[in-house]
Amino acid sequence: MLDWLDYRKQLLGRIGEIGKLSPDTVAGYQTLSRAAQKTGKLDAKTRELIALAVAVTTRCDGCITVHTGEALKHGASHEEIAEALGVAIALNAGAALVYSARVMDAVSAHEAGS
């Protein structure tokens, strides 16, 4: 497993380097991130739990380390985090099932076109 705290530190350093080389890219990302926090409809803990579930589905280690820290900071319990991850697991399984159906559709199309 990763040393998540060291990884976060290294990652943020590299993102700082990207910011120096391509400031508009990082500024654009920061604008999107701030906009998602300004809606006022979801509390910070709920947003972070959603972020963790999305981090799992997009396989983003950087997102995992950043949003784990933020979720804990906003009072998320281990049980709440596990429940959010359960949603991500179910969606990933669902997506695999949907894409399996697409494969079977492709099989039918290829057989009909042969």
The answer to whether 7 and 65 have CB atoms below 8 angstroms apart is yes
Length of the chain: 114
Nearest residue to 92 (alpha-carbon basis) of 59, 63, 64, 61: 59
Nearest residue to 15 (alpha-carbon basis) of 3, 4, 26, 27: 26
Please state, in angstroms and rounded to a whole number, the distance separating the CA atoms of residues 96 and 41.
31
- The tens digit of pLDDT for each residue in 8-59 reads 999 999 999 999 999 999 999 999 988 888 878 999 999 999 999 999 999 9
The model's pTM: 0.83
- The tens digit of pLDDT for each residue in 55-112 reads 999 999 999 999 999 999 999 999 999 999 999 999 999 999 999 999 999 999 999 9
Nearest residue to 63 (alpha-carbon basis) of 7, 105, 19, 109: 7
- Residue 59 is classified by DSSP as T
Please state, in angstroms and rounded to a whole number, the distance separating the CA atoms of residues 66 and 9.
10
Question: From the centroid of its chain, how far is CA 5?
Answer: 18
Please state, in angstroms and rounded to a whole number, the distance separating the CA atoms of residues 38 and 31.
11
